[in-house]
Chains A and B, each alone.
Chain A
């Protein structure tokens, strides 16, 4: 069973870059054509899809965040990462990483990490 675990600094200063890593276990990140996503949830609010990456390196991003987001993949470490530039308090949220249910680009995220709270504050 695939498992995902987010890691990164819990506190980021305004205008700086938020960086998170998702470590995948129980399977190779480069096997099949699964895709790997980042999703966030501000406290008491709904889920927001940030973007995804395939093992090939192909990415798709939420249009509202696209100018600030980069998702990358490191198959040698079985990890993928999120970078969000120029953060503000509005970026404070629990950040989840997830793997798609199947190998189609139309499969939804099914396997999720436990989530990592990132606060943006000076």
Chain B
């Protein structure tokens, strides 16, 4: 299956909100509510920040929120902070037990 489509970059000023999209097909994003998001800082392993579209793992602030409409899922980061500057990846369950990642979005805090 092809990678999910994310914008390569996004930016916002401290305190603002920014939304990152993740577009797939009916075989992945559109077919299942099993979309997750990861945050990755340089040189570090990815960290799970949302799962099942909008649920938070323990310890993740609710400044991170998720939604889905049709074949597109979205991550919104509210109240941007300097430490939110990182790469963000979506991942979706796809047919036949597979998972597919998005291409990643570099979030810059201005």
Contacts and interface: CB of A to CB of B under 8 A. Distances in A.
Interface of A: 37, 39, 45-49, 52, 60-63, 96, 101, 105-110, 112-115
B64 interface: no
A36 to B, nearest CB: 13
Contact of B104 (A46, A60, A63, A107): A46
B96 interface: yes
A98 to B, nearest CB: 8
A112 B32 contact: no
Interface string B60-100: 00000000000000000000000000000101010011111
Contacts, number: 61
Nearest to A112: B45
14 contacts: A45-B104, A46-B89, A46-B102, A47-B38, A49-B99, A63-B1, A63-B98, A107-B51, A108-B34, A109-B48, A109-B99, A110-B57, A112-B46, A114-B45
Given A49-B98, A60-B96, A110 B89 contact: no
Summarize A's interface: helix, strand, loop or mixed: loop
Nearest to A104: B34
B97 A60 contact: yes
Given A47-B89, A115-B45, A108 B101 contact: no
Counting from the closest, the 6 A-B pairs by CB-CB distance are A60-B97, A108-B36, A112-B45, A46-B104, A49-B99, A47-B101
A101 B57 contact: yes
A105 B34 CA distance: 10
B55 to A, nearest CB: 10
A109 B32 CA distance: 16
Interface centre among A48, A61, A109 (most CB of B within 10 A): A109
Contacts of B109: none
B3 interface: yes
Nearest to A50: B99
B12 interface: no
